A and B are shown apart, each in its own frame.
Chain A
């Protein structure tokens, strides 16, 4: 059987869904029949369909038609849980779709931009999903009467537009070049599955996590991220990957506390001495904030170093903060510190707390530079847990940020959100009402 597909096969890094839809239309084959050709696959566009694509490799007839077969499947670029369910969320570039192109990278859940057109992806409406994603159907008129959706901007993925576009060699080169850049990035990220596992799963979990992790991953991989290629990344903080020794039962047990020579108190004092000597007043004011005395509303100007230090202390003392009923946190002093078991074990080392402090400070800067109000929550994280054996990243804070409290035009306000609520960093110029919870959160 000779199947028809334009000479040259699918476009570089075109998604397999797009290829199959075009194939179905070009050969007037409905998806159920196509599934017989494709090794009896169930070609329904649900999540199972995505998983079934693994088996497409065995569909030799398709493989012959589609050179560089794996480049059209998303599995070399993201874990299965990091892929979109196409019937629920079909993301497409409004400019690419005009010439019948849908990139394989658009199937990745957190990939929401087009590197080629440097724009955000749109999501097809439910009507388009119903009409256009099932390939050729005998019941529909030939050619289709409607090919453009006014609601979501989706256009029918067809060969005609693509064929016209194929004549533009520069565009094909651009598609290939952009595709190779992205493929290199995602392939490299796959390697982090073994060495930076907590971050790897976070990276594909949500757009916010991805935004936080893109810079660190760029640093670790030495490759420009797709976001940066698309000029959509404004994260220019310097990043450092470090190992901290974490908790080791043999080393950190009561019987053998020699190696961990510094106590929690002494480690914290050292941090105070090193970073907070010029911010004693700021620390005092910030302590009042976390203490929340008498239920009175307190608002202070942001001092990044003091706030980071307070967050460090709270993280050491509390597993989760705030929680229901946790009206006040620690206010000042460290008389209590002797009875606290820190995340790193009973005997603490300077370096580990230092890493945690600098990490909080750097992330605080990252969050502030997003120019949006945000809440700060203390939650258990694997990266600073006692049993972490993975490297962690530190965002280096800038001098200007560390001294934001001394700046004449410093305007950021910090207060507790509602009574006993989380710490809230407010941009006074933003339009968000103070009583509204902001969407952005910083998890420490």
Chain B
């Protein structure tokens, strides 16, 4: 198996039921010109992948919408200071003198967003924010200002965000400080995201590796057929391993990951299996239980669950 293979380089996207549900849901919000929706989920369940998928899908489905993605961060040590304007200006690669006043920065950003929207013949901008929980309260205030300014130019801003469940703490904070307009605009709709919740879901996900044309735009064989052509021709399917993988991973899952397997570790397990099995491709290929156990161990799932849940290293 080639080192550059998409399975190892992770340059592929599985249209899992969760991802498709997110795309459907988010696109509906865009169509209805909603102001915001937040998807929350535990680490490594695939939030960023969903965000990237939306970044691809929204322009395809809505030709007259300008969409862009921003991985949020808080550069300042002071968590109460706002930096979203700076982040967005950095994202646009606008170089401004260090002492440019804030109001001017904001005007410049709005001007650029207007230009972007005009280029796309759009009167709606979709801002995809990953790691929303990293924004400070002041960032949300500035986001509301941008929303209002764009509204003045008849441009609707829809903020679709992905965050850790801790974002709910931020909502409580806004409620306490009576900043309900922030909640109303961006945080009124919070939808939880889950990883692989049951055996059937896992079977569906694994079957995607067996399905032809894994990349929608490129005609190609399925991953299983590509990596294990002889075994595939003789009826080997990755989907058939779903029972074993589910059982083994469920044994190790603890805390929030019980019945909520992270996609990151599922895909790593599959990658390991493909890597090992690619050297043993034959007509009677079987996957021993200890290989599955080994693949899950290689994905570091057990340690991950422990450290996430208890903080142990």
Q: B residues within 8 A CB of A167? A: 121
CB contact list, A12-48 vs B, under 8 A: 26-29
- The reply to whether the CB of A1 lies closer than 8 angstroms to some CB of chain B is yes
Q: Which residue of the partner chain, among B97, B108, B119, contacts A142 with CB atoms under 8 Å?
A: B108
In the complex the two chains form, is B115's CB within 8 Å of A4's CB? yes
| Structural contact, A160 and B108, CB atoms closer than 8 A | no
The smallest C-beta distance from B291 to any residue of chain A, in angstroms, reads 46
Assuming the A-B contacts A26-B115, A163-B119, are A1 and B100 also in contact, with contact meaning beta carbons closer than 8 angstroms in the complex? no
Q: Give Cα distance in the complex from A26 to B94, angstroms.
A: 9
The 8 A CB mask of A123-150 against B (1 = contact, 0 = none) is 0000000000000001001110000000
Q: Is the CB of B100 within 8 A of A138?
A: yes
Give residues 92-113 of B contacting A (CB, 8 Å): 92-97, 100, 104, 107-108, 111-112
Complex formed: what's the CA distance from A29 to B94 in Å?
Answer: 9
Q: Inside 8 A of B114's CB, which chain A residues have their CB?
A: 160
> For chain B residues 67-105, which have a beta carbon within 8 Å of chain A?
92-97, 100, 104
**B118 interfacial contact with A, CB 8 Å:** yes
* Contact call B93/A138, Cβ cutoff below 8 A: no
Q: Which of B93, B95, B96, B119 has the most CB of A within 10 A?
A: B119
Q: How far is the CA of A138 from the CA of B98 in the complex (A)?
A: 13
Check if A159 sits within 8 Å of B115, measured CB to CB. Answer: yes
Report the bound CA distance from A56 to B201 in whole Å: 60
Contact among A1, A7, A142, A164 with B111 in the assembled complex (CB-CB below 8 Å)? A142
The winner among A1, A7, A141, A159 for most chain B CB atoms within 10 A is A159
B119 in contact with A7 (CB, 8 Å): yes
Q: Are B104 and A163 touching (Cβ within 8 A)?
A: no
Whether A4 touches B95, Cβ cut-off 8 Å, given contacts A138-B100, A138-B104, is no
The smallest C-beta distance from A3 to any residue of chain B, in angstroms, reads 8
A143 touches B111 (CB 8 A): yes
List the B residue with the shortest CB-CB distance to A141.
B107
CB neighbours (8 Å) of B118 from chain A are 159-160, 163-164
Which one of A2, A28, A143, A160 has the greatest number of beta carbons of chain B within 10 Å? A28
Q: How many A-B residue pairs have CB under 8 A?
A: 39
User: Do most interface residues of chain A lie in helix, strand or loop, or is the interface mixed?
Assistant: loop
Closest Cβ of chain B to A9, distance in Å, is 13
**Bound complex: CA A1 to CA B92 (Å):** 10
| Distance of A92 from chain B, by nearest CB (Å) | 22
- Out of A2, A7, A164, name the residue touching B93 (CB < 8 Å): A2
A414 to B100, CA, bound (A): 71
Interface centre among A1, A4, A26, A29 (most CB of B within 10 A): A4
B103 to chain A, nearest CB (A): 9
The chain B residue with its CB closest to the CB of A159 is B115
Asked if A79 is at the interface of the complex by the 8 Å CB criterion, the answer is no
Q: How far is the CA of A159 from the CA of B115 in the complex (A)?
A: 8
B96: A residues at CB distance < 8 A: 28
A26 closest partner in B (C-beta): B115
**In whole angstroms, what is the CA distance A2 to B96 when docked?**
14
How far in angstroms is the closest Cβ of chain B from A166? 8
Q: Is A6 in contact with B119, judged by CB distance below 8 angstroms?
A: yes
Q: A29 contacts which chain B residues (CB < 8 A)?
A: 95
B115 touches A1 (CB 8 A): no
Whether the pair A142, B115 counts as a contact (CB closer than 8 A) is no
Docked pose: A141 CA to B95 CA in angstroms? 18
CB–CB A142/B121 < 8 A: no
> What's the nearest-Cβ distance from chain B to residue A162, in Å?
9
Q: How far is the CB of A21 from chain B (nearest CB, A)?
A: 14
> What is the chain A residue whose CB lies nearest that of B110?
A142
- CB of B95 within 8 A of CB of A1, answer yes
On chain A, the residues within 8 Å of B112 by CB distance are 4, 26, 28
Give, as a whole number of angstroms, the nearest-CB distance from A28 to chain B.
Answer: 5
* A167 CA to B111 CA, complexed, in Å: 20
B106 to chain A, nearest CB (A): 9
The smallest C-beta distance from A144 to any residue of chain B, in angstroms, reads 10
User: In the bound complex, do residue A142 and residue B107 qualify as a contact, i.e. CB atoms below 8 Å apart?
Assistant: yes
- Contact B94–A160 (Cβ < 8 Å): no
Indicate if the CB atoms of A160 and B93 lie closer than 8 Å: no
Known: A159-B115, A160-B115. A4 touches B92 (CB 8 A): yes
CB distance from B153 to the nearest CB of A (A): 9
User: Of all chain B residues, which has the CB nearest A158?
Assistant: B115
Known: A7-B119, A142-B107. A27 touches B94 (CB 8 A): yes
Query: Which residue of chain B has its CB nearest to the CB of A25?
Result: B111
Residue of B nearest to A6 (CB): B119
Cα distance A318–B141 in the bound complex, in angstroms: 86
Known: A4-B112, A160-B118, A163-B118. A142 touches B104 (CB 8 A): yes
> Which single member of A6, A28, A141, A163 contacts B94 (CB below 8 Å)?
A28
User: Which residues from A are CB-within-8-Å of B92?
Assistant: 4
A163 and B115 contact, CB distance less than 8 A: yes
Chain A residue with the shortest CB-CB distance to B112 = A4
- Give the nearest-CB partner of A2 in chain B: B93
A300 to chain B, nearest CB (A): 67
Chain A residues with CB under 8 Å of B121's CB are: 167
Give the CA-CA distance A28 to B92 in the complex, in Å.
11
CB B63 to nearest CB in A, in angstroms, measures: 12
Least Cβ distance of A7 to chain B in Å? 7
Give bound CA distance, A263 to B104, whole Å: 83
A28 and B108 within 8 A (CB): yes
Residues of B within 8 A of A160 (CB): 114-115, 118
Contact with B along A177-215 (1 / 0, CB 8 A): 000000000000000000000000000000000000000
- CA–CA, A29 and B95, complex, Å: 8
Q: Mark B28-42, 1 if CB is under 8 A from A, else 0.
A: 000000000000000
Give the CA-CA distance A166 to B107 in the complex, in Å.
25
| Cα of A7 to Cα of B119 in the assembled complex, Å | 8
Q: How far is the CA of A273 from the CA of B256 in the complex (A)?
A: 116
| Complex Cα spacing A426 to B119, Å | 58
Residue ID in chain A nearest B117 by CB atoms:
A163
Which A residues are CB-close (under 8 A) to B119?
6-7, 163
Q: Which residues of B contact A27 (CB under 8 A)?
A: 94
CB distance from A167 to the nearest CB of B (A): 6
Interface residues of B in 212-257 (CB under 8 A from A): none
How far is B77's CA from A318's CA once the two chains are assembled, in angstroms? 91
Q: State how many angstroms separate the Cβ of B30 from the closest Cβ of chain A.
A: 22
Contacts of A159 in B (CB 8 A): 115, 118
Collect the chain A residues with CB atoms within 8 Å of residue B111's CB: 28, 142-143
Excluding A4-B92, A159-B115, 17 further A-B contacts by CB distance (< 8 Å) are A1-B95, A2-B93, A4-B93, A6-B115, A6-B119, A7-B119, A27-B94, A138-B97, A138-B100, A138-B104, A142-B104, A143-B111, A160-B115, A160-B118, A163-B115, A163-B119, A164-B118
Q: What are some 12 contacts across the A-B interface (CB < 8 A)?
A: A4-B92, A4-B93, A6-B115, A7-B119, A28-B96, A28-B111, A142-B108, A159-B115, A160-B114, A160-B115, A163-B115, A164-B118
3 nearest A-B residue pairs (beta carbon): A142-B107, A163-B118, A2-B93
